[in-house]
Amino acid sequence: MTKYIIQNLKMNIRKFIIMLIMLTICSVVVLFTLEIILNLINEMESSWIDLAAQDDLKSMIFMLECGIALLIGFVILIANNTYSVILLGRENEFNLLHRLGFCRNRIRRMLFWENLILCGVALIIGIILSNLLSLTFMDRFDLKEPQRLPLNYYFICGLGMLLVIFYIVNKNFKNMSIGLEKKKTIYGVNKKQIMNRIIWTIVGTVISIVCFTIPEQVYQNLSESYGILLQGILFIIGLTISLEGSVILVLMILLKFAERNHFNAIYLAAKQNLFNLKKIKSIISSIIIAVSLFVGFQGLYDSIRETTRVYIKESVNYDTLVFFDTMPRIPQEELINLLEGMKDDNKDYSLTLTLIMTDARNHNLTLTGIDESYYKMQKFYVMDNGDINRIYDENENLLVMFSSKAAANQEWTIGNIVADYNYNESPFAFEIGVLYKPINLNQAFTSKKVLSKRLYGTEDKYNAIYLSGYTKEEIDQIMNYFKNDVYSIYDMEAYTQECIDQAINGTEMIEIILYVSMLFVTSLVINLFILSYSDRKKQYSELMILGIKKFDLLKSMLIESGMVYLIGTGIGYIVAIPFIKGALCIVKEALIFDTIIHIPYRLISGIIVGCFLVILLFTFIIGVYTLNTDEFNNNNE
């Protein structure tokens, strides 16, 4: 039997290669993602990670776990559909083996061994490629103590792969009538079934349409995010109920339209999709899920980036920041006279005193001493009607305007004395006087005069210059006064990009999984033709005897694949919009500024159209090959 299994794998390599590629891609992505998750968990539990960073890591880990679950679900769905068609194409082979003395259990064992070989090869290739990815890309995560994936993870992954494959084999093999005479049956639907299908289609369509008005009319007491989340859930429920009936309705309309106008290619495509309705429904569902998640996540990421960009543009007004490593030698009064001499209505400046403090776990806090001139440089969003002027009050403790999120992470509030930080290896205590929504979670503000007086005994110390509206030549002229000082110059464009990168980070693996899911659904549509290759030769041969031209048959295949993909893509895009809105509303509730929906149409359209063209190209190649084989031409001579 072993010799027969190996020989059979060689003979059907074209069919099995599809499953091998799917299993390999899945194992590579899953193993590499598991290694990232393991390292992120270790990083999160390390003492050098602050609480704000831990929240980001938790979000990244959760998103990666969801991505793995999504990918595994896709692979199971596609593998099941693919293998069911493979087994149907081998039914005559199994009947012949049964007549030669093979019992059903022996044939099932043979199939198990075939898939064991496939899983083994896929897992070995996956381990090799995932380790190559680890060596190539793991450095990008800036891990202090990177770890490799333990061997037991490989074992669990291989065991899970085997269990899934064995389940798929057993499930599909049960439905095969090996050794039994096949009875020809005519598929029919009685009136009761038709009425039930019509009723459920109407109910699902009504739910899908009405749900868009529910958050405003019925659920006014709910927060906006819950209203949109409920809207999305109801829409998906309505879509699920009405999907099959809606697809049938669309295909029937196309069928009648093509029949009336003598469009043979459209008629054949609609007829073929109705004939393969179960497969078509499964494929369309897969496309809807893949496209909705792809559009949803890409839209969410781009919306957060655009929101951050707009927020910084509205909140931060300076163009250039000059930061000195030590206290500059030019007195503050002399520098102010220089800047005032260049100033006009379009220019502003502010001098600040900035300290970098650390706590016992080496967490940094940037404390910046400011005066009223700094309000022209940055807009502050103060929490709970706090008074920003409190930080200028003379008090026993230094009053600080502190990040509301950082304070919540430490369970601090207004009035708490914070003595966790050190400056120049000396304890540095302050009192939280105001809470605000920051751009940088690790930045706090206080009075420049008070801070300077407490540290240096004078009120005119500074080590940073914020400039707005000054030209490059003017900045160079200013910096000529500081030839003997060590400083760094930062422009606003670089700062904006840094904030955007901080707003959305660690999404690379999620995006890879999204692209892989689009690749899978593309291959799923192509498989519809590859795995029904032999059946189509016989079917098209009979149609040509009835007078249908080759060109019409080829067009019908292109329309058939395009129809399935476009229906799934259109519905998937519609489903993604509530997802983006709901996610942004949740983000908005954690922020004080408005979020912006910004969908990267060029990227999304490029990927969707690219997948569509790939489907059409492969369908065209398969169609030309099918209609020009010697066997096909001989049958029609």
Distance CA 105, CA 112 (A): 10
Q: Are strands 426-437 and 399-403 parallel, antiparallel or unpaired?
A: parallel
Distance CA 475, CA 456 (A): 28
Check pLDDT > 50 for residue 181: no
Question: Can you give the residue ranges of every domain in the chain?
Answer: 1-180, 197-205+242-314+503-637, 326-485
Q: Which residue has the higher pLDDT, 158 or 179?
A: 158
At 449-461, the pLDDT tens digits run: 999 998 888 988 9
The pair of structure tokens assigned to 32 is 């590499």
**What residues are paired with 365 via a beta bridge?**
357
Percent of the chain with pLDDT over 90: 9
At 513-539, the pLDDT tens digits run: 778 778 877 877 887 776 665 666 777
For position 368, what pLDDT does the model report?
A: 92
Q: pTM of this prediction? A: 0.69
Distance CA 55, CA 77 (A): 33
At 132-151, the pLDDT tens digits run: 888 777 666 556 667 778 88
For position 30, what pLDDT does the model report?
A: 82
Residues near 69 by Cβ (< 8 Å), separated by ≥ 6? none
Mean pLDDT of 87-92: 70
Distances (CA, A) of 67 to 57, 93, 478, 507, 524: 15, 39, 52, 10, 19
